[in-house]
């Protein structure tokens, strides 16, 4: 089951609220309690997020979901995909899509630069201040990346992704699955760098298949293409049942044996996905720590013990590395934020 972190639900709702929509009603339609979306450790089903986005599209009549200065009428994306799927290559389809949107809106600018073996897809928002958490920018990149992958019949190989904003530590793990490549932040531009030979491949899908794909949109753009085959995700799923507290992980040789591999092979495969066994364990520790901090009054020393740290100072240093805050600062920030939203709801 594909899931999405609370950040994407939260930002979808924040955008809707800015445009005057009733957040509680939207969330109830998809079976979500509002408190959950403010819990950093919570994850919801991608089907729920896709339905939530659909509801916002329909309620606003805006495919840009209120994150740009001017709306984009619903149906524009579907019309564009029907026009580009007849092209003889993915590269020509992407160029045509870019040109089409250039005629439709000035709010999002796209460009494709060809440089040797690279094809650099660049996206710029005219009013980035309307998307302060970069939610819709990441969504927009993901749409085009997954559309190219779907039309080409295979996960489009990315050489690099760059982002013109700081590294978002709280959700950095999501990027490894959204954009499976080296991700660089604080860059001059926000880009996806494709292998050009993939974009020169023919389109393998038909208009009939496109109609089915669009009928469940945006679900196809929210499920992670590599999720089923990613060793990082498989190892994480194997470790989750071991979350008995106090926390104790199996040694790496035991994990490797579960995948019928020697340790060196599994370590290499994780490295190819820009992760490691240590990183996966730390991410689970981080998620449990956040869950305990925001859902109760357990002292920091108690959380440290549950996570298997020998001393509280070591846990505090690790938590600051993960989030940029101390555990107590994080707890206070979460409660202050949640209480503010409750007051606003009243």
State mean pLDDT over 275-286. Answer: 85
Q: Which residues pair with 125 in a beta bridge?
A: 108
What would the two tokens of residue 17 be?
């609220």
Q: Which pLDDT tens digit goes with each residue over 37-69?
A: 988 778 888 888 988 999 999 899 999 999 999
Please, what is the angle between helix 46-60 and helix 6-18, to 10°?
A: 10
Q: CA separation (Å) from 220 to 83, 92, 205, 298, 320?
A: 19, 22, 14, 40, 35
Pairwise CA distance, residues 325 & 334, whole Å: 11
- 242 pLDDT band (50/70/90 cuts)? low
State mean pLDDT over 182-206. Answer: 93
Q: Report the pLDDT value the prediction gives residue 10, as an integer from 0 to 100.
A: 93
Q: Report the pLDDT value the prediction gives residue 227, as an integer from 0 to 100.
A: 45
The predicted model scores a pTM of 0.68
Helical residues (DSSP H) of 65-161, grouped into ranges: 76-84, 90-104, 135-152
Q: Which pLDDT tens digit goes with each residue over 119-151?
A: 999 999 999 999 999 999 999 999 999 999 889
Residues 6+ away with beta carbon under 8 Å from 257: none
Residue ranges of domains in the chain, CATH in brackets: 1-60 (no CATH), 70-222 (no CATH), 231-345 (1.10.10.60)
Helix (H, G, I), strand (E, B) or coil at 67: coil
State mean pLDDT over 336-343. Answer: 50
Residue with tokens 């994150």: 67
Q: Report the pLDDT value the prediction gives residue 106, as an integer from 0 to 100.
A: 97
Residue 224 has pLDDT above 70, yes or no: no
Residue 341 has pLDDT above 50, yes or no: no
- 35 pLDDT band (50/70/90 cuts)? confident
């Amino acid at each position: 089951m594909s899931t999405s972190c609370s950040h994407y639900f939260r930002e979808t709702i924040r955008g809707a609220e800015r445009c005057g929509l009733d957040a509680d009603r939207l969330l109830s339609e998809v079976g979500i309690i509002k408190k959950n979306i403010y819990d950093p450790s919570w994850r919801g089903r991608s089907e729920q997020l896709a339905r939530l986005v659909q509801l916002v599209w329909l309620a606003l009549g805006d495919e840009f979901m209120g994150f740009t200065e001017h709306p984009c009428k619903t149906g524009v994306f579907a019309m564009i995909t029907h026009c580009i799927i007849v092209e003889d290559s993915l590269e020509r389809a992407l160029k045509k899509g870019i040109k089409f949107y250039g005629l439709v809106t000035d709010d999002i600018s796209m460009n494709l630069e060809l440089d040797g073996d690279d094809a650099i897809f660049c996206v710029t928002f005219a009013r980035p201040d309307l998307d302060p958490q970069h939610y819709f920018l990441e969504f927009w990149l993901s749409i085009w990346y997954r559309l190219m992958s779907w039309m080409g019949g295979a996960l489009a190989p990315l050489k690099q992704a760059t982002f013109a904003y700081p590294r978002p530590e709280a959700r950095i793990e999501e990027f490894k699955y959204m954009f499976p490549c080296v991700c660089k932040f604080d860059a001059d531009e926000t880009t996806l760098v494709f292998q050009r030979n993939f974009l020169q491949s023919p389109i393998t899908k038909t208009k009939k298949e496109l109609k089915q794909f669009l009928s469940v949109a945006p679900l196809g753009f929210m499920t992670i293409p590599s999720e089923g085959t990613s060793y990082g995700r498989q190892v994480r799923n194997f470790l989750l049942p071991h979350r008995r507290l106090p926390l104790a992980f199996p040694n790496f040789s035991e994990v490797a044996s579960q995948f019928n591999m020697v340790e060196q092979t599994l370590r290499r495969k994780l490295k190819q996905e820009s992760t490691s066994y240590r990183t996966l364990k730390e991410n689970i520790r981080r998620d449990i720590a956040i869950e305990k901090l925001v859902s109760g009054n357990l002292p920091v020393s108690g959380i440290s013990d549950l996570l298997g740290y020998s001393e509280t100072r070591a846990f505090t240093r690790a938590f600051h590395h993960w989030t940029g805050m101390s555990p107590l600062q994080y707890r206070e920030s979460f409660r202050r934020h949640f209480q503010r939203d409750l007051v606003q709801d009243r």
